[in-house]
Structure 1
Amino acid sequence: MKLKTIFFFSFLFHSSILSASTTLGEFYQDKAVQLQLANDPTWQRLLYANSNKNSEVDYAGFFYAEQGKHDLTQELKQNITALFEQHEDNKSIQCKFPARSEFLIQKLNITQSDLPEVSCTEFDEWIGQIKPYKATLIYATDFMGNPSSMFGHTLLRLDPKNLKELNLVSYAVNYAATVSDEQSWSYAWKGLTGQYPGEYSLMPYYRKVKEYGDFESRDLWEYELTLTEQETRFLVKHIWELKHVQFPYYFINDNCAYRLLGLIDLVRPQANLQRRFKASAIPIETIKAIRDEHLIETAEYRPALETQLNAQAKQHGYALAKHAHVLTQQERSEFANFLQKFNVQQQARILEMAYDDLYLQLLSRKVEAKVAEPKLRQLLILRSQIDLDKQRATVSLPKVDPVDSHHARHISLGVGKVQGEDVITLGHRQAYHDLIDPQGGYRIGTQLKLLDGQLQYRDDQLKLESFNVLSVNSYNPITPFKTPLSWGFNLGWKQEAQHQGHFSETEQHGVFNLNTQFGFSAVNTELEHLCYAQIQNHLQAGKNLDKGWRVGLGPTLGCQNIWTDRINSLVQIELPYWSDRHVWQMNIGSAVQYSLNAQNSLQLSWNYQQSKHENWQQIAVNLLHYF
């Protein structure tokens, strides 16, 4: 009898709790409907709702309602019900979805006394390690060795309070494609078509500094955001909610920069940053949009290790830097003898440069660890025996912050003459940077043009003069420490001065064009004048060619010159030998550009072609507007 009585009262107790939970849940559900919370921008962003009010997330564990992916209102109601359910450690909705729970509790003004006690050991330990106080947006400059990083990369650093000087040990939020296979030509195609899953990851910031600044020699810019501690913490709570969530990763639009904008929109919904970048999300352009919303508080520059090493070469001179590189090739036993011919200060400088040089060689796998590590230790021992302060000078801050550089897209309007006839041109480029563009904020010798076309009106006819799908050039200059390859390619369509397979002074016909080039380049110590020499091959296809296609091969020479902060020039000479007619052809392209301001320029260009005794030339003046 006693056992039955206990069971009876226990049943009544749990029933009353369940009834109270259900009643509270229904009460706040009704309140949410009255407030139209399902249409609240923050709620929709928490669930990644698209324009059709369907969630972009496919992971079933992201939802409480069976049809939560397609019915945000039903998902809202189920989340409210879950708030009042009692669960064991780490199982409550407040543990699984802390940001979502915080939003509902605040919007519905739910008192803590109405909520059951929850225990979230795993989440509390995780966020306790991060200690989020401030958020800093990190921009890694472009890296031509990886298709996904040609436009640069952004990530978010989460800084604890009062630890600014130790931010290397802060945590960083990174959104990137998860690539299981080796990077090959298919890698670029899969990345452009969204065939890789993208996901968030959290790691110590020093690991990303090592990856970008040491392995890939990319300078970093650190932009501290104006987000409050509460906003930063809410953002971090949402990152916890995305542990098993993946999105299709697209190199051009749905990429690292685009997804980080979504995180900022979550805590600053009035900014609507993500909506501005539906077609393409170039990292530096997204940072400019963040700056325009007054969300950047301070900016810091962190030069890559190779940038620091080249700065030492500039400071100490090319000859001494070359000696430092030669030292890294010597046996350890020969180090002391090698240094004897230099004075004490020169020895200190050589040892410091040699250490950095050898370390970079180790990272790039040009030397094995079993060879490099004993040498690195010996270099440190020898340097410690010299009683002189550090000889490295601080790398000077670049003249132009990348956020103050020209915008990626541009339109151009020009007038000129082609073969003595008046011509009007209209051009548009979707992205990103040309060698002749204003160079402030960009790396010299880097060119990346996407969807670059030009219309031409001449002789009462409007025609497409050129359309480059993609043009990439990386002129990596020779330094005292390495002799890298300069390379490039161009894929597109253009008008060629030829008719029925012959060079023509009166006719032009369209051809599909693929160029690839490889060679070497050099630059002065001030990084103002870069020249290159390459072998370039041409593959063209068009119905007006003899066989419908032709191949050309020949040398290419060029120079990029930055004369002042406003004036720069470019000249390039190509000499292809065409296999179809067994003739040489000379192509000269040149331009001088004057920057009126950061987003407007005036350009004078002259292009000349000659084959045998026939020629084709064009001169034009163009006004360019970057936007």
Structure 2
Amino acid sequence: MLGGYKGKFSVLPYYQKIQEYNNYESRDLWEYKLNFSKNEIKMLELLLWEVGWTYIDYYYLDDNCAYVMLALLEAAKPDLFLTNKALIYAIPSDTIRIVDNIPNFVTNVTYRPSVLSRYVTKVALLNNTESIILKNIVENNNILENTFSNCDKYCKANVIDSKLEFIDYKEKLVGSNDLVKYGKLRHTLLLSRAKDAVKLEKIENKPQSNPPHIGHDSGMVAMSVGSVLAESYFTELQWRPALHNYEDSDLGYSNSLGIGFLDTTFRYNVTDKKFELRKFHLLEIMSLPKNLENIEFLAWHFDLGLENNFGFNEKAKYERGYLKFGVGATLFGEENNRFFYSLLHLDTGYSRNFGWHFGPNFLFGYVEQINSKIKFIVTTELGNRFNKNNITLSSESKAILSYYISRNFSVQLSYLNKNSENEAKLT
């Protein structure tokens, strides 16, 4: 799970990797042009040739491809001192920020849209008639005699170009790969497009996200003070070495994807003078993608960890380990600055007080980016856990208001009702 296998080097044509990431994996790419002299580029080529026959012991946290990239750049240009800036672990987005922080080293940043982003851009420019025609072609997987009867040659060109991007996304075309499902239709569309010989204005593919170097650092440390209302006061310390969740600023990240690793929260109850591990997420992934025209995605959530305060009412004092996996749907607003999601989970776990248990868990949430500095989140979670003797209910409602002071600093005010216990917290 942590790595330990052989990491091998390979030297490939640049366009192959572009196709792999842009087309096969539908990833947007940000290309950073570096200020290397010709001699330094030659040195880098020689280094890659030299290590091409060997391997490294690959680990996900430190000795990974991101760290090796820093080492290679540093070997070609020793005065950069890059590797000593990756102190404990190396995460790709952090290594980009390390490189970007070197004065005058990054000379240009270029956006390369994925095939999916190109499709999104083209579809957004279609008028209502063109959108209907495109939908009919997608549903029928064919062109009928009257498909373009109410469409001039420019309308037809817009629809065909959009459909070609749709096919390329679905087929994950890379290099000379053969088409599996849409081969005949793609050939027909290309012939029809060439026959009309229509030249459309060049479309500017605006970035669907911000460049990663402007995002917050991957590691997070948070200090909190709060009160369990009418009962006690507490302080909390939270540490998350990686990476991001949707409570954080979206700059440089997706607003619908969260990945947390080793996310740990300790609490000290000032009133009771009690110290405890409040929660621990070994790994948590939340994917809440936006459905696109003619393309639907499944929202999903995975969470493996430990939690305290499990149970209901006076029984809400259990500790337990758990594994949750859920699927659902997401509904975005027109401006993409707000979305609602719902997920149905299967929750399994073990508690010394309650034994092995499982059951359904429903999660509902609303997220709104009010402006570039303020985000508001509301979530509600309802669960039922069963074992051979008992049923334990669980309910949790939370409201969060975040204010982003700068790239790496924010203030958060939250209110939580969990299993009939109310608390307020400032982080």
Do residues 393 (structure 1) and 208 (structure 2) align? no
Do residues 218 (structure 1) and 218 (structure 2) align? no
* Greater share of residues in helix: 1
Q: CA deviation at 1:356?
A: 0.8
Q: 441-450 or 314-323, which moves further after superposition?
A: 314-323
State the aligned residue count.
Answer: 419
The match for 1:237 is: 46
Separation (CA, whole Å) in 2 of partners of 1:261 and 1:399: 24
Q: CA deviation at 1:552?
A: 2.1
Q: CA deviation at 1:415?
A: 1.5
Question: Given residue 227 of structure 2, which amino acid in structure 1 is its aligned partner?
Answer: K
Note the alpha carbon deviations across 1:288-322, whole angstroms, 9 max, x for none. 11112222111111111101111222333688446
Structure 2 counterpart of 1:618, from 420, 423, 426: 423
Separation (CA, whole Å) in 1 of partners of 2:45 and 2:138: 45
> Structure 1's 371 and 517: CA in aligned 2 closer, same or farther, altered over 3 A?
closer
Q: CA deviation at 1:236?
A: 0.7
The match for 1:488 is: 301
Q: CA deviation at 1:270?
A: 3.1
Contact kept, 8 Å, 2:25 with 2:172, in 1: the verdict is no
Contact kept, 8 Å, 2:404 with 2:411, in 1: the verdict is yes
Contact kept, 8 Å, 1:322 with 1:480, in 2: the verdict is no
Contact kept, 8 Å, 1:328 with 1:358, in 2: the verdict is no
Question: Given residue 377 of structure 1, which amino acid in structure 2 is its aligned partner?
Answer: H
- Greater relative contact order structure (CA < 8 Å, 6+ sep): 2
Do residues 227 (structure 1) and 40 (structure 2) align? no
Q: CA deviation at 1:417?
A: 1.4
Structure 2 counterpart of 1:272, from 49, 64, 81: 81
Note the alpha carbon deviations across 1:39-61, whole angstroms, 9 max, x for none. xxxxxxxxxxxxxxxxxxxxxxx
The SS at the match of 1:568 is strand
Q: CA deviation at 1:256?
A: 1.0
The match for 2:373 is: 566
Do residues 461 (structure 1) and 274 (structure 2) align? yes
The SS at the match of 2:346 is strand
Structure 1 counterpart of 2:257, from 438, 443, 446: 446
Note the alpha carbon deviations across 1:541-586, whole angstroms, 9 max, x for none. 12121xx122120322222222211111222222212224346533
Note the alpha carbon deviations across 1:172-219, whole angstroms, 9 max, x for none. xxxxxxxxxxxxxxxxx2xx231x211111111111111111111111
Please give the residue correspondences for 1:106-185 in structure 2 after superposition, counting only pairs within 5 Å.
none
Question: Given residue 423 of structure 2, which amino acid in structure 1 is its aligned partner?
Answer: Q
Separation (CA, whole Å) in 2 of partners of 1:251 and 1:596: 31
The SS at the match of 1:437 is coil
The match for 2:384 is: 577
Do residues 434 (structure 1) and 245 (structure 2) align? yes
> Structure 1's 292 and 333: CA in aligned 2 closer, same or farther, altered over 3 A?
closer
Separation (CA, whole Å) in 2 of partners of 1:317 and 1:283: 39
> Structure 1's 607 and 219: CA in aligned 2 closer, same or farther, altered over 3 A?
same
Do residues 346 (structure 1) and 155 (structure 2) align? yes
Question: Given residue 592 of structure 1, which amino acid in structure 2 is its aligned partner?
Answer: L
Contact kept, 8 Å, 1:512 with 1:541, in 2: the verdict is yes
Contact kept, 8 Å, 2:96 with 2:212, in 1: the verdict is no
Separation (CA, whole Å) in 2 of partners of 1:595 and 1:512: 33
Structure 2 counterpart of 1:410, from 211, 220, 234: 220
> Structure 1's 201 and 606: CA in aligned 2 closer, same or farther, altered over 3 A?
same
Question: Given residue 62 of structure 2, which amino acid in structure 1 is its aligned partner?
Answer: N
Contact kept, 8 Å, 1:418 with 1:618, in 2: the verdict is yes
> Structure 1's 534 and 231: CA in aligned 2 closer, same or farther, altered over 3 A?
same
Question: Given residue 475 of structure 1, which amino acid in structure 2 is its aligned partner?
Answer: L
Q: Structure 1 unaligned runs (5+)?
A: 1-188, 623-627
Q: 534-543 or 581-590, which moves further after superposition?
A: 581-590
RMSD over equivalenced CA pairs, Å: 2.4
Contact kept, 8 Å, 2:209 with 2:254, in 1: the verdict is no
Separation (CA, whole Å) in 2 of partners of 1:468 and 1:538: 14
What percentage of residue pairs aligned between the two structures are identical? 22
> Structure 1's 558 and 432: CA in aligned 2 closer, same or farther, altered over 3 A?
same
Q: Structure 2 unaligned runs (5+)?
A: none
The SS at the match of 1:339 is coil
Contact kept, 8 Å, 1:505 with 1:616, in 2: the verdict is no
The match for 2:179 is: 369
Q: CA deviation at 1:271?
A: 2.8
Please give the residue correspondences for 1:28-39 in structure 2 after superposition, counting only pairs within 5 Å.
none
Question: Given residue 204 of structure 2, which amino acid in structure 1 is its aligned partner?
Answer: T
> Structure 1's 313 and 606: CA in aligned 2 closer, same or farther, altered over 3 A?
farther
Contact kept, 8 Å, 1:318 with 1:480, in 2: the verdict is no
> Structure 1's 321 and 280: CA in aligned 2 closer, same or farther, altered over 3 A?
farther
The SS at the match of 2:63 is coil
* Greater share of residues in strand: 2
Contact kept, 8 Å, 2:133 with 2:147, in 1: the verdict is no
The match for 2:124 is: 314
TM score, norm. by length of structure 2: 0.91
Q: 292-301 or 403-412, which moves further after superposition?
A: 292-301
> Structure 1's 264 and 369: CA in aligned 2 closer, same or farther, altered over 3 A?
closer
